[in-house]
Amino acid sequence: MKTKYYLISLALGALAVSQTSCKPGGGKASSELAGDAAQKVYVAPGTHDEFYSIVSGGFNGQVSVIGLPSGRTLKNIPVFSQHPENGWGYSEETKPMLNTSHGFIPWDDSHHIALSTTNSEHDGRWAFINGNNTPRIARISLSSFKTEEIIEIPNSGGNHSSPFITANTEYAVAGTRFSVPPDNVADVPISSFKENFKGYISFISIDKETGRMGIKFQLKTPGVSYDLARAGKGKSADWFFFSTYNTEQASTLMEVNASQKDKDFILAVNWKKAEQYLAQGKGKKEPGTYAHNVWDEDTHSATSTIINEVMTLDPKDCPDMLYFIPCPKSPHGCDVDPTGSYIVGSGKLAAVIPVFSFDKMQKAIASKAYDGQFDGIPILKYEEVLHGEVQKPGLGPLHTEFDGKGNAITSFFVSSELVRWNIDKLEIIDRVPTYYSVGHLSIPGGPTAKPHGKYVVAYNKITKDRYLPTGPELAQSAQLYDISGDKMKLLLDFPTTGEPHYAEALPASLIKDKVRKIYELEKNKHPFATKSEKDTRVERKGKEVHIYMTTIRSHFAPDNIEGIKIDDVVYFHVTNLEQDWDVPHGFAVRGAKNAELLIMPGETQTYKWIPSKVGVTPFYCTDFCSALHQEMQGYIRVSPANSNVPLKWGLGNTPEAAAEKAVAGK
């Protein structure tokens, strides 16, 4: 008998050994790994990924571009943070992009991606992302993959419920996560939260043609925390839905005090009605200081404008515009299905997923099925608005995306899994573990009216042992799953940086053929552009020295400069005369308290240098440009402040060079 147990345990042991010793990466057991995973994610040399995934950079303040299904990082787009790799936030032209009402800020915490849509379908024009710490929204061109605009949000703290957009990209929103007193009367006791703090929700209009943003209006709602949001689609397209927490209106020990109530709210905003009230003159201009920074692709420069007032709408003057939907408990995600019929609340402390019906909400509003009010805003009756609850879905639901086949996939942070369920029947179909503790998830087209399905990416919050260890600080863990079949199958782990909060993926065909390759020299309107080597020169204006410089494989013009003095402020205005794709030149000067410039073909960028030492200082091209790249360098001579060394410059035309040439010619 004993022998038998011994043998059985040996058999189980052997099973365990055979299972763990053969799995590919060494992490946890991978029974959920697809057998043909390698083929499914293999993008052969010379071929391209099927989808672009535009991925939030999280606390690196940037945006990554990742190809799917390979998981390869193709580019990091600098947005809210300085990026020494290409001079973003260091060059004179890009510094204004990081200006705010607080002055220049070198960093932010970027959170959510919103890709522009037409009729709630991806149109491949722009990506938007929010800065959470110093509230801002940025717009990135999906042709140049460059940040073109950043707008700051006044009266706001923690711009988390942002930048989600309406069906035709009419608006991006910015709901404040930390309610604050209005900026102009902000010196109040923290304990006066209920009287003085407001939950501002900003609607940022987006120009149809140019994408240009402007704060159209701010809703002055009660002081609660706005977490996430989604616009309606189709029949619900005039509405916007915002999840809330801290309806307790606490201001200290939030993890306890903001989790008291069984239900918080989803705020439903009829934004078309808000526009009508605005047109009727119900808006009120209030003080509010914010920066609006715009990049110009013709002058290759940014301008920053400070604006000092903002239009506000008080819900007390605007009936039938806002309704609260009770939602259990501290809801995080607030996601609208592709048809616009259902709103999925994900109560991160709740044991169910409540699904609300837009039609029922309309009926409840019509019949005034209210359950009291909150600070003057009607609360709709939970049961009257509810389509149904998904029972026992998992622990800690956070976000939901849609597969386009009538199903939703919800991420569960606490139970670390993805759960697929049918929206209509509210039945769970499938679940698959994630490694570890998934936060956001992303299905190509998943938040739009036309999901492409095929894959879901889990953006996990914990990495632990998924990759070779790299000390206490680890890369972030993303995982790609195949969702084309009945069972979700794990295909690939890939690392990302900065803790991405959310990503959106779209078919590469929407973008790849309209990508900018060069800046045409003929269209370069930079005020300091030098469009011919014959125009290169050095000009002194008092203590300022302006160097009009050009680059081409492989020399600078001029490359010998003398007559610079200590205390001068030197500006190198470097124009790259190349006109072929993928031929940037870099620029760096020894001892400069600056990053490099990386100048794209046909572009002009400016490098500020305040020489700190007397002597001859080399500068060089940092981007390997040709077989003679090592020779692409120059010298600039710095003399004492009182020196008489005259300003002079040249390229290959010094008397010594002329003499050498004459000798070589003989």
Partner 1 sequence: MKKTLWAIILTLILFGCGKGAKQRAESPETSEDVMEKQEIIHGTEVTEVKLTNPLDAAMIKQGQEIFEMKCMSCHRLDETRLVGPGWSGVTKRRTAVWLTNMITNVDIMLEKDADAQKMLEECLIRMPNQNVSLEESRSIIEFMRKNDGEI
Write out the residues near partner 1 by the rule CB under 8 A: 3-4, 7-8, 10-11, 14-15, 17-19, 21-24, 35-39, 42, 44-47, 518, 520-522, 531-534, 550, 552-555, 557, 577-580, 583, 626-628, 652, 661
DSSP letter, residue 261: S
Strand 370-374 and strand 171-176: pairing?
A: unpaired
Question: Nearest 5 degrees, angle CA 356-CA 176-CA 56?
Answer: 85
Q: What is the DSSP letter of 602?
A: T
Nearer to partner 1, 628 or 645 (CB): 628
Question: Minimum Å distance from CB 39 to partner 1?
Answer: 6
- Give me the least distance between CB of 520 and partner 1, in Å please: 7
Length of the chain, please?
A: 666
Nearer to partner 1, 231 or 552 (CB): 552
Asked whether the beta carbons of 196 and 181 are under 8 A apart, the reply is: yes
- Nearest Cα residue to 602 out of 538, 517, 535, 536: 517
Residue pair 396/436 in contact (Cβ under 8 Å)? The answer is no
CB of 476 to partner 1, least distance (A): 26
Q: Which is nearer to partner 1, 35 or 281 (CB)?
A: 35
Smallest distance, partner 1 to C-beta of residue 655, A = 16
Half-sphere CA count of 288, side-chain side, radius 13 A: 24
CA–CA separation, 434 and 477 (whole Å): 10
Burial class from Cβ neighbours inside 10 Å (0-12, 13-18, 19+) for residue 371 reads middle
Tokens 């609660």 identify what position?
A: 224
- Of the pair 36, 424, the CB lying nearest partner 1 is at 36
In this complex, which beta carbon is closest to partner 1, that of residue 488 or of residue 577? Answer: 577
Pairing between strand 560-565 and 633-639?
parallel
Of residues 300 and 348, the one with the C-beta less far from partner 1: 300
Which CB atom, from 542 or from 655, has the smaller least distance to partner 1?
A: 655
Nearer to partner 1, 484 or 532 (CB): 532
Tell the smallest beta-carbon distance from residue 509 to partner 1 (Å).
16
Encoding tokens for residue 181?
Answer: 């007193």
73 neighbors 132 (Cβ within 8 angstroms): no
Query: What proportions of the chain, in percent to the nearest 5, are helix, strand and coil?
Result: 15, 45, 40
CB of 46 to partner 1, least distance (A): 4
Report the nearest approach of partner 1 to the CB of residue 469 (Å): 23
In whole angstroms, how close is the CB of 5 to partner 1 at the nearest point? 10
Nearer to partner 1, 9 or 260 (CB): 9
**Shortest Å, Cβ 42 to partner 1:** 5
Contact at 8 Å (CB) between 348 and 332? yes
Is residue 438 within 8 Å of residue 458, measured between CB atoms? yes
402 torsion bin: left (phi>0), alpha (psi -120 to 50), beta (else): beta
